[in-house]
């Protein structure tokens, strides 16, 4: 029994290694074509995304041969998020895996989490000399958030959050009716802050807009915090200053949000393995002509077979769009 288990583990590890090698090759090709070769640090982030994706597929019993890697431009997505320094292991991005009825395969779209939005603000936002920290919390019945007017900036600031019984404070789906709002505060290097407060109505609208209510039931607090951080991100993203060498990657991340949702809506029999309330998010901006859609990996032997020569990997087209409202 142990021998069979060890053989199976070895086969998976071998397949994982082969899958990673082929996918990194595709990521490198796209990076070189776009004139943005990956640094050592970029490659580390890319490997993290690729290996975590493979692990997810194994956990969900998804055969790599059933995934339309090239059609959904998974390598291009990996390149983009790796260069922006976002990690799947750190929950800064997440995987949306669903059926594509047209291709009769599954698509994988990488989407940004609120942790990723926070990271981008601390890296790129230049409002009031930059963001040094972000805090957020939900507001429950019986609690008080103290605000005051900052007459230097004209903005309202949050100076205190009074919680009567913090030791027994528990926030979950069972007592979600007690949640009356949430806030997120970005602290700037010049000593000022940008604060966003949302009310119960905004939370309810976010939940109603969700593709699935399961994740709200599973982690209500997380989804409320995601909602308010997303509002903070929308407020501050217009102050993001992106280095020239990352500008295309940033643009690609924020392009074609509506197109991916149109595709999702068109797939009546779509199967969602993980979803989020944010129904408009990034879509791969490279369009790749193809006949065969993905690297072929023999899950029993670990052998990685080449793609058909008919796959045209060099036909990438870049699109342009204003960065005024990234998300």
Is the same domain home to 199 and 276? no
Is the model more confident about 305 or about 112? Answer: 112
In a domain, 161, yes or no: yes
Q: Which two tokens stand for residue 131?
A: 């963001």
Shared-domain flag, residues 168 and 249: no
Residues 131 and 228 in one domain: yes
Domain boundary among 239, 265, 287: 239
Q: Which pLDDT score, from 0 to 100, does residue 230 have?
A: 95
Please list the residues that pair with 196 across neighbouring strands: 184
**Any idea which residue has 């949050």 for tokens?**
158
| Structural domain count, the chain | 2
Amino acid 282: pLDDT: 37
Determine the average pLDDT of the residues in 257-264: 51
Specify if 317 maps to a domain: no
**What pLDDT does residue 101 have?**
78
CB atoms within 10 A of CB 201: 9
316 in any annotated domain: no
Weakest mean pLDDT among 164-178, 261-275, 286-300: 286-300
- According to the model, what pLDDT value does residue 12 have? 57
Please report, rounded to a whole number, the percentage of residues in the chain having pLDDT higher than 70: 73
Clarify whether residues 232 and 254 are in a common domain: no
Q: In this structure, is residue 313 part of a structural domain?
A: no
Q: Predicted confidence band at 298 (pLDDT cuts at 50, 70, 90)? A: very low
Residues 6+ apart with CB under 8 A from 121: 131, 134, 186, 232, 233, 236, 237, 240
Co-location of 235 and 253 in the same domain: no
305-318: pLDDT as tens digits = 444 433 333 333 32
- 250 and 275 fall within a common domain: yes
Instruction: Examine the domain organization and report whether 130 and 196 are in the same domain.
Output: yes
Q: Which pairing describes strands 179-188 and 193-199: parallel, antiparallel, or unpaired?
A: antiparallel
Residue 113 pLDDT class (50, 70, 90 cuts): very high
Report the mean per-residue pLDDT for the chain: 79
Q: Mean per-residue pLDDT for 5-29?
A: 76
Decide: helix, strand or coil at residue 211. Answer: coil
Domain-embedded: residue 170? yes
Give the residue from 223, 239, 255 where a domain finishes: 239
Predicted confidence band at 326 (pLDDT cuts at 50, 70, 90)?
A: very low
Put simply, whether the predicted model's pTM sits higher than 0.95 gets the answer: no
Q: What is the pLDDT of residue 2?
A: 63
Q: What is residue 210's predicted lDDT score, i.e. its pLDDT?
A: 81
Residue 108 pLDDT grade (very low, low, confident, very high; cuts 50, 70, 90): very high
Which range has the worst mean pLDDT, 39-43, 48-52, 170-174, 265-269? 265-269
Q: Please state whether beta strands 296-297 and 193-199 pair in parallel, antiparallel, or not at all (unpaired).
A: unpaired
Same domain assignment for residues 138 and 102:
no
Q: What is the span of the domain harbouring residue 35?
A: 2-113+244-305
Both tokens assigned to 94: 């997440």
Q: How far apart are CA 33 and CA 216, in angstroms?
A: 41
Residue 118 lies in a domain: no
Is 69 a member of any domain?
A: yes
Asked whether residue 319 is domain-assigned, the answer is: no
Residues 220 and 297 both lie in one domain:
no
Residue-level pLDDT at 276: 41
Mean pLDDT, to the nearest integer, of 26-55? 94
Query: Does 150 lie in the same domain as 248?
Result: no
Residue, of 275 and 198, whose pLDDT is higher: 198
Confidence of residue 51 (pLDDT cuts 50, 70, 90): very high
Average pLDDT over residues 6-19: 65
Check whether residue 286 and residue 234 sit in a common domain.
Answer: no
Considering the domain architecture, whether residues 137 and 57 belong to the same structural domain is answered as no
| Count of C-beta atoms within a 10 Å radius of residue 273 | 16
The percent of residues above 90 in pLDDT, for the chain, comes to: 57
């Amino acid at each position: 029994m142990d021998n069979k288990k060890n053989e199976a583990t070895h086969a998976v590890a071998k397949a994982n290694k082969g899958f990673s090698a082929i996918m990194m090759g595709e990521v490198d090709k796209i990076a070189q074509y776009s004139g943005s070769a990956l640094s050592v640090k970029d490659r580390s982030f890319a490997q993290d995304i690729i290996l975590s994706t493979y692990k997810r597929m194994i956990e969900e019993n998804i055969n790599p041969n059933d995934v339309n890697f090239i059609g959904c431009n998974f390598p291009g997505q990996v390149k983009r998020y790796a260069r922006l320094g976002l990690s799947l292991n750190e929950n800064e991005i997440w995987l949306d895996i669903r059926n594509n009825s047209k291709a009769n395969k599954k698509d994988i779209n990488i989407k940004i989490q609120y942790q990723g939005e926070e990271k981008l603000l601390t890296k790129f936002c230049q409002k009031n000399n930059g963001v040094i920290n972000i805090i957020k919390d939900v507001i429950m019945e019986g609690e008080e958030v103290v605000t005051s007017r900052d007459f230097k900036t004209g903005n309202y600031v949050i100076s205190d959050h009074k919680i009567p019984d913090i030791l027994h404070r528990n926030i979950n789906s069972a007592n979600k009716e007690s949640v009356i709002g949430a806030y997120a505060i970005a602290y700037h290097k010049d000593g000022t802050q940008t604060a966003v407060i949302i009310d119960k109505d905004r939370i309810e609208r976010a939940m109603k807009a969700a593709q699935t209510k399961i994740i709200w039931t599973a982690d209500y607090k997380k989804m409320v915090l995601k909602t308010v951080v997303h509002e903070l991100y929308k407020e501050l993203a217009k102050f993001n200053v992106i280095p020239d060498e990352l500008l295309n990657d940033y643009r690609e991340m924020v392009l074609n949000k509506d197109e991916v949702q149109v595709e999702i809506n068109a797939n009546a029999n779509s199967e969602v393995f993980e979803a989020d309330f944010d129904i408009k998010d990034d879509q791969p901006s490279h369009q790749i002509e193809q006949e065969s859609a993905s690297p072929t990996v023999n899950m029993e032997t670990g052998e990685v077979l080449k793609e058909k020569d008919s796959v045209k990997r060099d036909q990438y087209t870049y699109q342009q769009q204003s960065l005024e409202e990234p998300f």
